[in-house]
């Protein structure tokens, strides 16, 4: 994966987190699961969390919102 593409995915994930858009997060994860390696996804996640570190999304920090919603997505796929 090129650095440019990775950066675009990081910015998309940050934007989704700031807007707290569960639908877009689910679509993002679905697309990434098909086209992005686990290693690249981990890099995207770590960098996004670092960028969002001090960002607030309403009453909750953006990194907390992102991690909580990713965990909810994970749990919902485990139940299927």
Number of domains in the chain: 1
C-alpha 15 chain-centroid distance: 9
Q: pLDDT tens for the chain, 80 residues: list them.
A: 899 999 999 999 999 999 999 999 999 999 999 999 999 999 999 999 999 998 887 788 999 999 999 998 888 776 65
Enclosing domain of residue 56: 3-79
* pTM (predicted TM-score): 0.87
E strands, the chain, where?
Answer: 56-57, 60-61
Quick one: pLDDT at residue 58? 77
Whether 23 and 31 have beta carbons less than 8 Å apart is answered as no
How does 8-41 read in b/e, with b if 16+ C-beta sit within 10 Å? ebbebbbebbeeeeeeebbebbeebeeebeeeeb
């Amino acid at each position: 994966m090129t650095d440019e593409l990775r950066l675009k995915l990081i910015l998309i994930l940050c934007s989704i987190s700031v807007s707290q858009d569960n639908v877009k997060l689910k679509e993002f994860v679905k697309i990434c699961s098909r086209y992005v390696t686990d290693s690249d996804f981990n890099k995207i996640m770590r960098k996004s969390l670092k960028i969002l570190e001090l960002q607030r999304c309403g009453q909750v920090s953006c990194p907390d919102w992102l991690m909580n919603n990713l965990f909810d997505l994970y749990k919902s796929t485990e139940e299927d």
